[in-house]
Amino acid sequence: MSGLDGAWTRRWIEAIAAEVAARKSELTSLDRAIGDGDHGENLDRGFQAVLGKLDALEADAAPGAVLKLVATTLISTVGGAAGPLYGTAFLKGAMAAGDRAELDARALVEVLTAARDGIVARGKAEPGDKTMVDAWSPAVDAAAAAGDDVRGVLEAAASAAEEGAAATEPLVAHKGRASYLGERAAGHRDPGAESTALILRAAAATS
C-alpha cells in the first residue's frame, strides 16, 4: 500500500485507544499539575466509545468516514476543552480527506493542516500559549516539509509533536485552565500537547 486507506485509519484509531488507556494516569497527572486532573479519563472515555462504534462502520469505509465517526463520538463523549477541540480536529480532517479511498502524502498533509486549523479556529490559541497547538503546529510544519512519502510525513509529524510537547514545559499558559495559574504553570508539560504527540506517534507506529 502506498497511501493510507480506511483499514489503516481504523488501525491508527485502535492504536490511539490502546495508548490512551495505557497512559491514562500519566495524562491525568499532567492535568492535575496545571488543570483539573481529568484529561486522561476524558480521552479514555472518548476513545473507548469510538472503539465500540468502529465495528458498526462498513468494512470498506474510507479514511474520511472513519475520521468523521471519531469526531462525532469525541464531541458527544469527551467534554471539557479537549472534547470539542479534538472533535473539531477530526471533523475538519474528515472533511479534508473527503471520499478518497487512500491518503497519499499530499492528502495527509491537507488532513493534518485542516485538523490544526480547526483547533486554532475553535480555541483561538497561538503557538507558545502552552496548549495542544504547540504540538500540532510544529507537526503540521514538519509534515508539509517532509516530502512525498506518507511514512516520512507521519514520522516527521510525530517527532515534531513530541518536541513541541516537551517544549511546553517552561511556558506560562495563555489559554485553558492552566492560564489561571500564571507563573505556576511553568515547569509542567501541557497535557493536551502530550496527548497530541501520543495521537501522532500512534499514527507513525501504525503499519
Cβ closer to ligand ADP: 5 or 190?
A: 190
Cβ closer to Mg ion: 164 or 192?
A: 192
Cβ closer to ligand ADP: 100 or 116?
A: 116
The single-letter code of the amino acid at 113 is T
- 16, 17, 35, 63: residue in contact with ligand ADP (rule CB under 6 A): 35
**Residues 51-80 contacting ligand ADP, CB under 6 A:** 80
The contact pattern for Mg ion, residues 11-40, with x = CB under 5 A and - = no contact, is: --------------------x---xx-xx-
Measured CA to CA, the distance from residue 81 to residue 84 in angstroms comes to 6
Which residues does 160 contact at the CB level (< 8 Å), separation at least 6?
138, 139, 141, 142, 143
Measured CA to CA, the distance from residue 191 to residue 27 in angstroms comes to 6
Measured CA to CA, the distance from residue 118 to residue 189 in angstroms comes to 23
133 touches ligand ADP by CB under 6 A:
yes
Which residues does 118 contact at the CB level (< 8 Å), separation at least 6?
88, 89, 91, 92, 93
**Residues 172-201 contacting ligand ADP, CB under 6 A:** 175-177, 190-193
**Which residue ranges make up the site for Mg ion (CB under 5 A)?**
31, 35-36, 38-39
